[in-house]
Amino acid sequence: MILEGIVTSLNAVGELNVAPMGPIVDESLTWLQLRPFQTSQTFRNLQQRPHGVFHVVDDVLLLAKAAIGKLDLVPETFAANKVTGRVLASACRWYEFEVESLDATHDRTDIRVRVVHVGRLRDFFGFNRAKHAVLEAAILATRLHLLPRDEVERQLAALRSPVEKTAGPNELAAFQLVCDHVTAFFVSDHSEFCPPNSVLPP
């Protein structure tokens, strides 16, 4: 099963990286299989420091910002318990891990990690269609170089409906952020499928 969340890792000089990631997990979450690309900062960090923290989150605005590289401010964190790492203060649960194996023979690496500590900050908000739609939109926004424009338009149009019907302020802002990012990507084509403030309240 793939569980979407956020991984924090540190580089050799202790700088924090925050990245959305969907590892393969077992139901007990005793191990995770991470699959970052070799070009990613997460991969470089885990090579240098073979430990990090995986977070279960319900803050889709944070996830969207991290996905499209718009995380201007470092989110609030605190020190992990068992590894040298940082825990997101806004997370629902966190899983501190150590790398057991790392296969870099392909562009998308295969990193198996063992969970060494689990923590809980609060209950998960619950199922919400807008949150799921923003998550899908954020994932879509990381694949613009792989997908044709008409496919991106079609998927975003479908995702817009549950956002407009069920979102709160954070979900509206997150979806608009992703739309603006996609529009900027296709700016040479004068894309109009995500006009400014299309889902934001007046």
What's the pLDDT tens digit per position in 10-67? 999 999 999 999 999 998 999 999 999 999 999 999 999 999 999 999 999 999 999 9
Q: Which structural domain range is residue 10 located in?
A: 5-120
Tell me, yes or no, whether 11 lies in a domain: yes
Q: Do 52 and 139 sit in the same domain of this protein?
A: no
Q: Do 110 and 10 sit in the same domain of this protein?
A: yes
Q: Do 11 and 103 sit in the same domain of this protein?
A: yes
Q: Smallest Cα–Cα separation from 32: which of 83, 123, 102?
A: 102
- CATH number of the domain at 164, please: 1.20.58.290
Identify whether the C-beta of residue 87 lies closer than 8 Å to the C-beta of residue 76: no
Q: How far is the first Cα of the chain from the last one, in angstroms, to the nearest whole number?
A: 40
Q: Do 160 and 87 sit in the same domain of this protein?
A: no
The two structure tokens encoding residue 46: 């885990």
Is residue 197's pLDDT more than 90? no
Is residue 190's pLDDT more than 50? no
> Which pLDDT score, from 0 to 100, does residue 188 have?
56
Q: What is the DSSP string of 85-136?
A: -EEETT-SEEEEEEEEEEE-SSSB-EEEEEEEEEEE-S------HHHHHHHH
Q: Do 96 and 136 sit in the same domain of this protein?
A: no
